[in-house]
Amino acid sequence: MGISRPSRPVLLTTATAGALVLTALVPGSATADPTPRPITREGSPLGADRAARTPEAAAERALGDARSGAAGLGGTGLGGDKGRGYPREQRLDLPPENPADKSIKLGLTPYHGIAPKLNALQRIGDRVSVEIAGRSAGGHQLYLVTVTAPESARETARQTRMRERMANDPVGAAKDEAIKASYKTPVFINNNIHGNEWEGTDAALKLIEKLAKAEDKKSRDLLAHNRLYFNVTTNPDGRIAGTRANANGFDLNRDFITASQPEARAVREIAVAKQPAVMIDLHGYVNGTLIEPTTPPHGENYEYDLFLKNSYANALGMEAAVNGLGYTEAKDGVQPAVIPFRDQKEGWDDWPPIFTPQYMPFHGAVATHTIEFPMQVNNEEYESQPVAELRRRARINTDIAGAAMRATLDYTDRHRTSVIADQIEVFRRGATGAEQVPVSEETVPGVPGIGPEDVYTTEFPRAYVIPADGAKGGRGQRSATAAARLVDHLIANDVRVERASHAFRLGGRTYAKGSYVVDMHQPKRGLANVMLADGRDISDKVSTMYDISGWSLGRLWGASVDAVRGGGLKGVHARPVQAASQVGYVAPRGDLRLRLDDPREIAALNSLLAQGVTVRRDRDGSAVLPSSARRAAAAAAKKYDVAFDATKAKGGAALHRTRVAAAVTPGELFALREMNFDVVPVSTDVLNSGFDWKKADVLFVSAGLDRSELTAAARDRLDRFLTKGGGLVGRGATGAALNADAGLLAVKAVGGNGDANGVVRVVNAGGTVTGGAPDHGFVYSPSWFTDLGPGVRVEQKYGTGNPLVSGHWRAAEDGTGGPADAAGRAAVVSGSDGATDVVLFGTEPLFRDHPKGMFPQVGRALLSVGR
C-alpha cells in the first residue's frame, strides 16, 4: 500500500558545512518535474545526461559495483550529431596485450588486437568512423563502427531530421519524397554477444576493411544510400575469457527489456539513437547454419506482417549466400542452412523480447535475425580439438558470418525504399492506434506455409497509468520508488511517458495529480505493451519453448500499473517527462519509518546498518529509525531516492548488518549486491576448502552447494554454523535439498514441471517476509511445499484455480507438476527447528535481476534469519 503525501512538500535533507538543510520540492514544481524537452533520437538527452541524474544511476553508483557502473546507466555517448558529419575519426587507446585471450588459439582477433585494426581502418579513406558505445561489465570499451559515404555536418543534420520525422510524424513521413529519395537506411550488425561465439567479430572487421577500400560502383552506391553500424564485439569480457557470459556472469542475450548490464544498455542506446531498419546478430553453433525467422509462437506485440515479409526474404538471400560458399557435409562437415520458420515446427521461437533480434523490432526494425554458424569451437570442443582443426572450423564460421552480412546488405540496398516505408508503417500504426494486421498468405505474399499457428496479435489498451499517491477513493501507488524506477526505465527505452498536472478520472478510476500516463497511441507502442502488459498464457499453444515465456514489468517491478481499455484521454492534462520525479523524503519530526517494499529501500537500510545506525523491525517488516538518525536518513533518501515517513511505532527486534554466504546464480549474486548486502560467494568446493563461517551470519543457497558432497569436516562446520544460530534462506530444489539433508524445517518440497516459467498470482500472509509484497510473482521450474510440520508458517501461497497469468506451464506427461497441482499450495515458508531460522522459496524472486518487486522478499528473509 502506498504512503499518501498529496499536498505537502517533499523534503530532502542534506548536510552542508555541518548544518542540516531542508530543501522543499513542491509537487508539480519545475524542480520536482523537470521542464520537458522534445523527444528525439540521435543527439537526444536519452543517454549519459539522463544516466547521470536519474535515481537508478545514482543508486547503482552508490552500491559501489564498479563493474556494472563503469559504463553509466543506459548512457553510451552515441549521437551528438550537432555540428558533426561523417567520418568521425578518433584514435583509440590500445589495451595491453593479453596472451591469455581465448581468441588467439582459434586464430581470431584478440580483444587487444581490435583497437589497432580500427585505428588503421579509420586512416583508409573517409568512410569508417568509430564511437565508444560504452564499457563492458569488466571495463572494456565497446566499439561501434559506422561505415558510410562522407557526410557534411549539414547533411548529417538533415538525416537526423528525416529519422526523427519518421517516428514523430509517420503519417507525414510516409508522403515525404525526400525520405524516399535520400534517407540512408540504417543497418545494424551485432557481434559476439555470447563471448565464446567469436567469429562474427572477425567477419565484421574483414567486411569493414573491404568497404573502406572498395572502389567498385556497387560498393559506392551501397555506402551512398545506407549507414552500416557494426558493434564489433558486444561482449569483450567473454571474448577474452572464452565464456558465454560477461564479467558479471550474465548471458547478455537474455538481458533485453531488463537491461541490467552495461552491454545491453549500450545496444539499447544504439537502437534508440540509430533506429536500425535491419539488423542481424551473429552467434554459434548450430549445424546447418540457422537463419531466423523463427517457429511459433511469435511475439504478439510486433507488427509481424511487416516483419515476416522482410525477414523471410532476407533469410532466403542469406541461405543462398551461405550455401553458395561451397562447403559440404561430406568434405567440410557443414550441413545446408536451416530457416526455422520453413524447416521446423517449434522450439525456436521469437516470443520473449529478451534477445537482441526480438528486441530490435520494437524500435522499428523490420528484418532482424539470429544467425548461428555451424562449426563448434567452444566449450568441450575448444579443449579437446587440435588447434589446426579449431582454426579450420573458425575460418569456415568467419566465411559464413561474412556471407550473411553481405547478403543482408544486398537485400537492404535492393529494397531500401520498401524497407523504410515498412519501418514508417510500424511507427504509423503505433502513433495512430491502428489495428495490427494478422499474417496470412494474402497479407504476406511470397512467404509459404503461413498457417493459423503463426497468427499472434494483441489488443492494445488505450493507455497505462502508473498512479501517484493520494487519490481519495481512487487508485494509489504501492511504491513510489518502484514507480519512479519503472518510469525512468520506460523513458530509457524511448517509450513516451507523460505526467498529469491535475487529478483525473480514467477507466472508471480516479487518479491523483502527478500520476504517469503512457498513451498507447505512440510509435513504440509494442515496446510499451511488451513491458507493461500481463502477457499471455501460451501453455496450450506449443509443447516446448526455447527460453522464458512470461515477463511483465507492470506486474513484477513493484509499481502499481493500470491498463485502461477503450475511451479517450481528453480529460487528462499531462505533459511529457524526461525523467521520473524524485520521491526521496524525510519527515521533519518524530521517529522514522522506511518501508521495505523495494530493493532500493533494502539497499538504503543496509547502508544505514553499515554506518551503525540503530534500526528496529516493525510487525509489518518495515524498518523504524529513531529521530536522532534523521541526518543519516537524509543522506540515504537522497542517494537511493526512498522515503522516510514519520511514525509512532517503536519497533521490535533490532536489525543488524547481515553478512551473507551465498551459493547462488550470477543473477542472484548481482541482485544481492544491488541491495547492498555484504556477500561472500560459496560453493561445495569453497566449503570443502575450509570456509571460515565467522564471515557469515546467514547462508543463502540456490545453486552449487550439495551437502552430500561435502567432506566430513566441511559438513561438520556447516552444521555447527546452522546450530549456533546461523540462518538459512533456500531457493528452489537446491535450497530445499539442503534444508532436508540438514534436518531443519519440517516440510516436503514438491517440484513442478522443470520447463515451466512465467508470471503467477500469489497470496501473501504479510508480516516480516511478505508484508507489502506484490500479488504476483515469477517462477522458473516452480516448486511448492506440503506436509508442513509444527511451527511452519506459510508466507505466500500460489493463487487458486490456475495461478499462471502468463508464460508456459504444462503438467508433465504423467499429469503431475502442472499449475493445478500448485494452486493454493505454499510457495514460500518460514520457521525454525529450535536453533536455526529458515525461509524457503519455491518461486524465483531474483531471476536474472528481473522481478524487482520480489527482491525485497529475499532481502527481508535474509534480515529476519540472520544472527
Mean pLDDT for the stretch of residues 59-65: 36
Asked if residue 40 has pLDDT above 70, the reply is: no
pLDDT at 567: 85
Of the pLDDT bands very low, low, confident and very high (cuts 50, 70, 90), residue 867 is: low
Asked if residue 21 has pLDDT above 60, the reply is: no
Q: Which CATH class is domain 659-865?
A: alpha beta
Residues 183-200 pLDDT 10s: 999 999 999 999 999 999
What distances in angstroms separate CA 668 from CA 194, 664, 734, one per listed residue? Answer: 20, 6, 14
pLDDT at 866: 74
Q: Which residues contact 288 (CB under 8 A, 6 or more apart)?
A: 334, 335, 336, 337, 338, 374
DSSP 346: S
3 state SS of 673: helix
pLDDT at 686: 98
User: At residue 243, what are phi and psi to the nearest 5 degrees?
Assistant: -115, 155
Give the sheet arrangement for strand 463-466, strand by strand: 562-564, 463-466, 516-519, 498-500, 574-576
Residues 818-851 pLDDT 10s: 999 999 999 999 999 888 999 999 999 999 999 9
Contact 308, 260 (CB under 8 A): no
Q: How far is residue 736's CA from residue 746's CA, in Å, rounded to a whole number? A: 11
Of the pLDDT bands very low, low, confident and very high (cuts 50, 70, 90), residue 83 is: confident
- Written as one letter, the residue type at 208 is I
Of the pLDDT bands very low, low, confident and very high (cuts 50, 70, 90), residue 41 is: very low
Q: Which CATH class is domain 73-428?
A: alpha beta
Asked if residue 1 has pLDDT above 50, the reply is: no
Q: Quote the pTM value.
A: 0.91
808 alpha-carbon distance from chain centroid: 20
Contact 616, 650 (CB under 8 A): yes
User: Which residues are 369's β-sheet partners?
Assistant: 280
Residue 459: active-site member: no
**Which cell goes with 7?**
499536498
The crossing angle, in degrees rounded to 10, of helices 599-610 and 480-492 is 120
Contact 98, 383 (CB under 8 A): no
386 CB burial (10 A radius; 0-12, 13-18, 19+): exposed
Contact 651, 73 (CB under 8 A): no
Q: Which residues contact 445 (CB under 8 A, 6 or more apart)?
A: none
Asked if residue 15 has pLDDT above 50, the reply is: no
Of the pLDDT bands very low, low, confident and very high (cuts 50, 70, 90), residue 472 is: low
Asked if residue 46 has pLDDT above 60, the reply is: no
Asked if residue 20 has pLDDT above 80, the reply is: no
How many percent of the chain have pLDDT more than 70?
A: 90
pLDDT at 725: 87
pLDDT at 195: 98
User: Which residues are 839's β-sheet partners?
Assistant: 729, 830
Mean pLDDT for the stretch of residues 471-476: 62
Is omega for the bond preceding 87 within 30 degrees of 0, making it cis? Answer: yes
Residues 196-231 pLDDT 10s: 999 999 999 999 999 999 999 999 999 999 999 999
Q: Which residues contact 432 (CB under 8 A, 6 or more apart)?
A: 171, 521
Residues 129-153 pLDDT 10s: 999 999 999 999 999 999 999 999 9
Q: Which residues contact 540 (CB under 8 A, 6 or more apart)?
A: none
Asked if residue 808 has pLDDT above 80, the reply is: yes
pLDDT at 139: 98
Residues 307-365 pLDDT 10s: 999 999 999 999 999 999 999 999 999 999 999 999 999 999 999 999 999 999 999 99
pLDDT at 79: 60
- Per the prediction, the chain carries an average pLDDT of 91
Asked if residue 36 has pLDDT above 80, the reply is: no
pLDDT at 387: 98
Asked if residue 51 has pLDDT above 90, the reply is: no
Mean pLDDT for the stretch of residues 239-259: 97
Contact 678, 659 (CB under 8 A): yes
Q: How far is residue 668's CA from residue 185's CA, in Å, rounded to a whole number? A: 40
186: enclosing H helix or E strand: strand 185-191
User: What's the N-to-C CA distance of the chain in angstroms?
Assistant: 29
Which of 269, 425, 498, 668 is flagged as catalytic? 425
Is omega for the bond preceding 288 within 30 degrees of 0, making it cis? Answer: yes
Q: How far is residue 862's CA from residue 867's CA, in Å, rounded to a whole number? A: 10
Residues 561-602 pLDDT 10s: 999 998 889 989 999 999 999 999 999 999 999 999 999 999
28 CB burial (10 A radius; 0-12, 13-18, 19+): middle
Angle at 204 between CA 201 and CA 206, to 5 degrees: 115
Mean pLDDT for the stretch of residues 4-32: 32
Asked if residue 861 has pLDDT above 70, the reply is: yes
Q: How far is residue 235's CA from residue 756's CA, in Å, rounded to a whole number? A: 29
Asked if residue 732 has pLDDT above 60, the reply is: yes
Q: Which residue has the higher pLDDT, 42 or 54?
A: 54
16 alpha-carbon distance from chain centroid: 38
Of the pLDDT bands very low, low, confident and very high (cuts 50, 70, 90), residue 70 is: very low
**Which of 842, 833, 848, 829 is CA-nearest to residue 733?**
842
What distances in angstroms separate CA 474 from CA 1, 94, 507, one per listed residue? Answer: 13, 59, 11
SS (H, E, C) 385-401: CCHHHHHHHHHHHHHHH
Q: How far is residue 804's CA from residue 798's CA, in Å, rounded to a whole number? A: 9
Which residue ranges make up each domain of the chain? 73-428, 463-576, 659-865
Of the pLDDT bands very low, low, confident and very high (cuts 50, 70, 90), residue 414 is: very high
Using CA atoms of 630, 631, 634, 635 in order, give the dihedral in degrees to the nearest 10: -140
Asked if residue 391 has pLDDT above 80, the reply is: yes
Angle at 231 between CA 227 and CA 233, to 5 degrees: 160
**Which of 456, 575, 567 is CA-nearest to residue 506?**
567
3 state SS of 24: strand
Of the pLDDT bands very low, low, confident and very high (cuts 50, 70, 90), residue 733 is: very high
In terms of C-beta distances under 8 Å and separation of at least 24 residues, what long-range contacts does 413-416 make, across chains too? 413/185, 413/221, 413/222, 413/225, 413/226, 415/310, 415/313, 416/185, 416/225, 416/226
Pairing between β-strand 826-832 and β-strand 793-798 as defined by DSSP bridges: antiparallel
pLDDT at 401: 98
